[in-house]
Homo-oligomer: A and B are copies of this chain.
Amino acid sequence: MITDSWRKQLIATNKIFDNLSDEELMQEVSPGRNRGIYLLGHLTAVHDLMLPLLRFEEAKYPELKPVFIDSPDKAVEAIPSAVQLRQQWKEVNETLSNHIKNLPADDWFTRHANISEEDFIKEPHRNRLNVLLDRTIHLSNHRGQLLLLKKKI
């Protein structure tokens, strides 16, 4: 159910990004708030870091973290282009989706990378499935904001 819910949120978010022009991505979701391009970079950076967090593989674009996670929008002058971020977003999610599809059910209940084996015995809910649930909610949170960028007909 959770992997299905992740997949659905991703499809819905991609639909929004696909319908937004690069120009529209440069708009703020609300006056004074994050721009669409920042949210694209932020989500790409967060999903990229899920690769090591879920113990799948190393992050592909760790250079996104200081710009799109550690810094707020407009704090960093030079950010990657929309074209480049769209490409990275696609690539990160494809890699992630392949791992997710192939992970045996039982393995979802094993620890994620940010908890030691000893602590995990005491806190078994800090497992990989919980990371996916948390990131599904994170994605949905920002998807609600991205929706505001779409021009009303």
Residues of A bordering B, CB below 8 Å: 1-2, 4-5, 9, 29-33, 125, 129-130, 133-134, 136-138, 140-145, 147-148, 152
Contact = CB atoms under 8 A, between A and B. Distances in A.
A152 B72 CA distance: 13
A30 B148 CA distance: 7
Contacts of A30: 29-31, 148
**Copies per assembly:** 2
Contact of A32 (B129, B138, B141, B152): B152
Nearest 10 Cβ contacts at the A-B interface: A141-B144, A144-B144, A30-B30, A30-B148, A137-B140, A140-B141, A140-B140, A144-B145, A1-B130, A5-B133
Contact of A145 (B2, B31, B145): B145
A150 to B, nearest CB: 10
Contact of A1 (B31, B125, B138): B125
Given A30-B30, A152-B32, A5 B134 contact: yes
17 contacts: A1-B129, A2-B2, A5-B134, A5-B137, A9-B137, A29-B30, A30-B31, A32-B152, A133-B133, A138-B140, A140-B144, A141-B144, A142-B144, A143-B144, A144-B145, A145-B145, A145-B148
Given A140-B140, A143-B141, A148 B5 contact: no
